[in-house]
Amino acid sequence: MRGVRWLLLKDLQILRRSPLQAVLLVAYPILIAVLIGFAISREPSDPRVAFLNEVPPNTRINVGGQELPKANVKDRICERVECVFVDDRDEAEEKVESGDVLAALILPANLVNQINSLSTLTPGVPEIEVLVNEENAVKAELVDDRITSLLAQANLQIAQRIGAEGGRYLGLLVNGGQFSVLGETIQILGLRATAQILKTVTPALPPNLRPALEEVTEFATQARDNLDVAKPLIDRLAQPIAVDKVVVGGKSPPLEIFAIAVAATLTLAFVVVLLVAGSLALEREENAFSRLTRGLVSSGGLLGEKVLLGVVVGLVVTLLMLFGMQVFSPLDLGRVPLWLVAILFSAAALGAAGAALGAAAREVRAVSLLAFMVTLPVAFLSLVPSGAVGAGAFDAIRIFTALFPFKPALEAITAALDEAGPGIGGPLLHLTVLFAAYAAIARLALRRFAAV
């Protein structure tokens, strides 16, 4: 243990003597913390969409000769996107082409007439026009998604208005009331009152006429009862399928907590793996390895010292980052002991993986590149959710990522940050197994090099 202490001190001295490395170790997590912090503390900005309304003012949607109340579709759309009002089609096209707006939404002059024609014998096809610039596939897909979503909303609102009007007419038919048409008010008797009147007058009729009238009364009663049932059905027509979301697996914390956990794990992984692998390779690059292992320190002691170095530096850097995130998104400080447990287990497993890499290389540059080439794809693959790729590919990814400590480290840190996350026990056990496996690989690799 005495040797480990002095070697650790030596490595920290060397780290201090490498200003670029030291600055990177401190600056990198702060930079990541600030970037993630800004990203999660700002509301996502609405996409800019040019809006041209060519529909003549005061044109209203008409159902069965009755104008529907104003739906305020424009206001509703502009709640969800940043509307840039334009005066004509040329201006809309120019703004889309220049990239000033993501898309242009044009309501043509005949839109309302076409909607009104839907309730006639010659229904038209109401269309709105969308101008998009598809120079960028991702941007184009984003625009498509937004516009489709907006149209679905607009269709739903119109359908709800029509449904409400239909329901009002049914109400009149059942219960009676007043109905305005061409400026005149008509009194509607309604089925309920009709049945009541018929029941009242039936006893006054000659017996031979009563059965026929009783049939009419029965019809009015049945029609009233059944049309009462029809009204909720019409209401459901606008949105026949409702969503009832039930979470049955994959407890997940809030998105900002997950983002913080990803940033912290990524920082921890890069710092620990690069530092441990690099410092172990440095012993060989400086030719000190054979001198050290000639009785001054055992190869196990040397590996332990490197992992300890990674754990110490990784712990400091990750805590620095998490406390930095407090400025943007308050974290539950009551869970700090769990943070420490998660970071220590994660750093130890990542350090053992770094030691295995470092033992396999002679030069710091080569091993740094190797560590980067291993850590980055593993980190990306660990973030692929189920369903994003085919079942076979996902199984392969799951097996591959389970062999490297990044994913269990992410799960452990997520669980430590928020109680809504997955349990911490499984990831800690996984990290322990990986630590033992990588430590054994690193020892074997070092023994092989000692024999060279």
How many angstroms separate the CA atoms of 309 and 316, rounded? 11
Report in angstroms how near the CB of residue 413 gets to other proteins at its nearest.
Answer: 32
**Radius of gyration, alpha carbons of the chain:** 36
Which DSSP category does 118 fall into? G
Among the listed residues 291, 362, 365, 448, the single contact to other proteins using CB under 8 A: 291
Q: Does 296 bind other proteins (CB under 8 A)?
A: yes
Q: How far is the CB of 13 from other proteins (least distance, A)?
A: 6
Q: In 210-298, where does DSSP find H-type helix?
A: 210-237, 255-285, 288-292
**Residue 127: C-alpha distances to residues 49, 154, 232 (Å):** 18, 12, 29
Whole-number Å distance between alpha carbons of 100 and 116: 34
Is residue 448 a contact residue for other proteins (CB under 8 A)? no
Short-list 185, 335, 208, CA closest to 260? 335
CB 18, min distance to other proteins, A: 7
Number of residues that bind other proteins (CB under 8 A): 21
- Least Å distance, CB 287 to other proteins, is 4
What token pair was written down for 379?
């980190």
Q: Which two tokens stand for residue 61?
A: 């949607």
- Determine the Cα angle at 51 with ends 47 and 55, to 5°: 150
CB nearer other proteins, residue 18 or residue 155: 18
Q: How many Cβ atoms sit within 10 Å of the Cβ of residue 22?
A: 14
Which CB atom, from 10 or from 60, has the smaller least distance to other proteins?
10
Q: How far is the CB of 343 from other proteins (least distance, A)?
A: 28
**CB under 8 A: which stretch of 165-173, 190-198, 291-299, 333-341 binds other proteins?**
291-299
Instruction: Give whichever of 6 and 380 is closer to other proteins, judged by the CB atom.
Output: 6
Helix (H, G, I), strand (E, B) or coil at 239: coil
Among 65, 203, 211, 295, binds other proteins (CB under 8 A): 295
Applying CB under 8 A, does 451 fall inside the site for other proteins? Answer: yes
Report, in Å, the least distance between residue 7 CB and other proteins. Answer: 8
Structure tokens belonging to residue 43 = 């509301």
Q: Cβ atoms within 10 A of the Cβ of 388, count?
A: 10
Residue whose CB is less far from other proteins, 3 or 176? 3
Contact mark string toward other proteins, 2..41, x via CB under 8 A = xx--xx--x--xx--xx-----------------------
Question: Which residues bind to other proteins, rule: CB under 8 A?
Answer: 2-3, 6-7, 10, 13-14, 17-18, 286-288, 290-292, 294-297, 450-451
